[in-house]
Structure 1
Amino acid sequence: MYLLVLGIVLLLLKYLGIEPLADWSWWWMLTPFVLAVVWWSWADSSGYTKRKAMEQEAEKMQERRDRTKSALDSNYKRKK
């Protein structure tokens, strides 16, 4: 995501003619986009993306369990 933002900023600065970026080659402006594609292809092929998604799901499940347990505990204490 950061590479895409960097690429868009570089393109915008070149388009607006801001120095010294206006004098740079277009290849330098497109480099962040190429690096983003390389990163995404590596992340998908290595399983990094899936692993992060599974970690987020496990964290959400644990939060739900904790909320349910605390709710059950509070109900048990009230009934005494």
Structure 2
Amino acid sequence: MPLILLIAALVGLRYFEVWRFAELSWWWVIGLMFVAFIWFEFVEKIFGLDKKKAHNVDEARRKARVKEAFEKANKK
């Protein structure tokens, strides 16, 4: 996510020609976009980072469900 924010900031700064970014080549910005594409399409999948995020979400749901079940059992 920080990479995407960096790209968005660079595009804005380059487009509006702010400070030293006015002289920055668009190829640097396009290069960062290419790096982000490679990261999200290939590297995350190779290392299983996309599955890890999904697993963490499922684990949080499971814990919430168990906690709710125990709270209902204790109220009876």
- TM-score bracket, normalised by the shorter chain, equals 0.7 to 0.9
- TM-aligned CA deviation for residue 12 of structure 1: 1.2
**Aligned residues: percent identity?**
24
TM-score (ref. length: structure 1): 0.79
C-alpha RMSD over aligned residues: 1.4
- TM-aligned CA deviation for residue 38 of structure 1: 2.3
Structure 2 residue aligned with 1:62:
63
Long gaps (5+) in structure 1: 76-80
Using CA pairs under 8 Å that are at least 6 residues apart, name the structure with larger relative contact order, 1 or 2: 1
- Deviating above 6 A after TM superposition, structure 1's stretches of 4 or more consecutive aligned residues are none
Higher Rg:
1
- Give yes or no for the alignment of 1:30 onto 2:26: no
How many matched pairs? 75
Q: Secondary structure at the match of 1:20?
A: helix
Long gaps (5+) in structure 2: none
- Give yes or no for the alignment of 1:18 onto 2:15: no
